[in-house]
Amino acid sequence: MRPRPTYDLPLPTGRTLRLGPRTLVMGIVNVTPDSFADTRDRVDPTGAIEQALAMVASGADLLDIGGESTRPGATPVGADEELSRVVPVIRALVGQVDVPLSVDTSKADVARTALAEGAAIINDISALRYDPDIAGAVAERSAVLILMHSRGRSNRMYREAEYQNVAGEVVAELDDAIRCAERSGVPRASIVVDPGLGFAKLGDHSYAALAGLNALASLDRPILVGPSRKSFLSAAIGDVPPGEREWATAAAVAASVWLGAHIVRVHGVREMVDVVRVTDRVRLHAEHRHGRDDGVRP
């Protein structure tokens, strides 16, 4: 097994986010009333803050705060509403946690405000298709930009789920997004890519995208994978509610780590931290078995 590449991503605070030696766990903090995976009311910032603090205590390395649901068919919200949901959470967490904060948004106005409030990462599920100005907002703050592969809007994304070569097309479209971000001033060294499991992909498309992480590595950027509780898991385990997909999520997280993901984005942080630690340990032994020698012993 080839060693997973190491990347150092500069953060606006002057710190560096190192990706590679171990897999980082990103906790999902929904501040929405219509998340597909969490039926609890998360519009109340107090509940979201408590959830976020519990995730950090359970081992989360990053937090991803979202104020607009991106599930298929979700009702869009305006920038003001989205900001009213995420800004109180960012403000509270900046003073209480030491992990970098990410904001899941596809709006440049939200990105600018979130970064000004202390977020360090913008996670754009549209890879700049919805609002290309997001790249400029990230560049202004020297922040990190996550580009996720998707097609179409939430109400019609599955109409775009037509592929001849899933992994190859995901790579090509993300490569275009990276070039767009670079033209707007975002250094390549500040970009993370995400294959977008479940977005404009039917079940087998998502499995093919996950299995094709080696192809995504050709972009020479760190890889984030978000399989948590998503509907594509039902292609293997049957039609069960999101809350009952945690074991399937664990399998997908383990596969993601084994295939080279640098970050996994999950709801159940405590459980998935254990999955990641065990899979990382197996990877370490596999890498050493194939001749890696950097002074670290299993």
Sign of CA dihedral 169, 172, 175, 176: negative
183 is catalytic: no
Total number of residues shown for the chain: 298
Q: Which residues on adjacent β-strands are paired with residue 224?
A: 263
Question: Cα(284)–Cα(278) distance, rounded to whole angstroms?
Answer: 10
Closest-CA residue to 249 (of 293, 220, 210, 221): 210
In what side-by-side order are the strands of the sheet with 191-194? 191-194, 144-148, 121-124, 101-104, 62-66, 24-30, 263-266, 224-225
Rounded (10°) CA dihedral 50, 120, 67, 268:
-50
Which residue out of 265, 270, 277, 283 is catalytically annotated? Answer: 265
230 is catalytic: yes
Question: Cα(164)–Cα(280) distance, rounded to whole angstroms?
Answer: 32
- CA distances to 102, 156, 157, 176, 220 from 138, rounded to whole Å, are 12, 28, 26, 17, 20
Which residue out of 153, 221, 230, 283 is catalytically annotated? Answer: 230
Q: Are residues 168 and 209 in contact, defined by beta-carbon separation less than 8 angstroms?
A: no
Active-site residues, by number, are 230, 265
